[in-house]
Amino acid sequence: MPDLDAAAQFVHTHGRLLERRRFEHRYGGAPDAAAVLRAVEAYRNADGGFGFMEPDLRTPASQPSAVLYAFEVLEEIPGQAPKALTDGALDWLTTVTNDDGGIPFVLHTAEGYAHAPWWAPQPDPPSSLLMTAGVASVAYRLGLDHPWLGPATAYIWGAIADLKLSDPYAFRYTMHFLDAVPDRARADAEIEVFRDRMPADGVLKVEAGVEGEALGALEVAPRPDHAGRRLFPDALVERELDELANAQKPDGGWDFGWAAWNPAVAWEWRGMVTLSALSTLKAYNRL
């Protein structure tokens, strides 16, 4: 069983203020979500987007990845996000959406700011299935209704056919989209296609990542009622839950499996993945 008190000490000692507020709201006896919302709003820019939120992309300019994480946090406080805030973010996304309905992985406005190698900005960036599916999935889960969603959803449906399991991060967010999109018949049909393509051990290796970097069942299906859960046998999920529960470090936090290019972001990421680990274990009744 994970040590929640040790996790609290870790997050309060090393996490960002946003993760500390999230922890207090979820596990620390602070039911009022106002502090979480204020922490999210601190990352909001005048253009309606969000900046500074992605640890590996340290730019103040609004970025799609920052909107994605802001919406994921807002999902933890259902019904608390002002419509002006969520609509403002999607209004801003509309201004950076490509003609095909997709949004880029990273915008050129990150140029000149420190970032991990995989966040390299470029002029006229193409649409990213990972980023578009990620934002659309959480927008659907938040129950948002905005003109951005229609073209984005059409782009995702078109791009899924070319998705390869050798791109596990795009696969994970595509499965989140298939879990949330209202067209359940089409989503279920796509999931069946992926079921036939999954490796027997359920492990999706990140070919361009560090040694051992991979995604498993719990990254694809962080809740037992997630649509992606049907891709994995019960025994495999139970084994991964055991491994996740036992992965808590002596300092109380969890670690991450990708490259740490900057000592500061390593602590920020560890605070974030500690919240994610606790959330997954709680969803599966392991906490």
pLDDT tens per residue across span 60-73: 999 999 999 999 99
Q: Is the pLDDT of residue 34 over 90?
A: yes
Per the structure block, which two tokens stand in for 130? 């990972």
pLDDT at 6 (0 to 100): 98
Distance, CA of 165 to CA of 194 (rounded, Å): 9
Q: Residue 44 in contact with residue 52, Cβ under 8 Å? A: no
The stretch 231-256 carries a mean pLDDT of 96
pLDDT at 206 (0 to 100): 84
* Residue carrying the six token digits 């040590």: 3
Instruction: Identify the three-state secondary structure at position 237.
Output: helix
Please name the amino acid found at residue 17: L
C-alpha 38 chain-centroid distance: 20
Q: Is the pLDDT of residue 197 over 90?
A: no
User: Residue 215 has what DSSP assignment?
Assistant: E
The model carries a pTM of 0.95
The stretch 192-218 carries a mean pLDDT of 85
Q: In this structure, what are the phi and psi dihedrals at residue 102, rounded to the nearest 5 degrees?
A: -95, 160
Q: Is the pLDDT of residue 213 over 90?
A: no
pLDDT at 214 (0 to 100): 84
Distance, CA of 217 to CA of 127 (rounded, Å): 26
Q: In whole numbers, what is the pLDDT of the chain averaged over residues?
A: 95
pLDDT at 195 (0 to 100): 87
Helix (H) or strand (E) holding 212: none
Q: Please name which of 212, 126, 235, 216 lies closest in space to residue 175, comparing C-alpha atoms.
A: 216
Q: Residue 4 in contact with residue 287, Cβ under 8 Å? A: yes
Q: Please name which of 10, 85, 5 lies closest in space to residue 47, comparing C-alpha atoms.
A: 85
Q: Residue 217 in contact with residue 234, Cβ under 8 Å? A: no
Please name the amino acid found at residue 186: R
Q: Which tens digits make up the pLDDT trace of 121-145?
A: 989 999 999 999 999 999 999 999 9
pLDDT at 105 (0 to 100): 97
Q: Residue 24 in contact with residue 30, Cβ under 8 Å? A: yes
Q: pLDDT band at residue 212, thresholds of 50, 70 and 90?
A: confident
User: Residue 204 has what DSSP assignment?
Assistant: E
Q: Which tens digits make up the pLDDT trace of 67-122?
A: 999 999 999 999 999 999 999 999 999 999 999 999 999 999 999 999 999 999 98
Q: Is the pLDDT of residue 199 over 90?
A: no
Q: pLDDT band at residue 40, thresholds of 50, 70 and 90?
A: very high
pLDDT at 31 (0 to 100): 84
pLDDT at 1 (0 to 100): 84
Q: Residue 14 in contact with residue 6, Cβ under 8 Å? A: no
Angle between helices 263-283 and 17-27 (to 10 degrees): 20
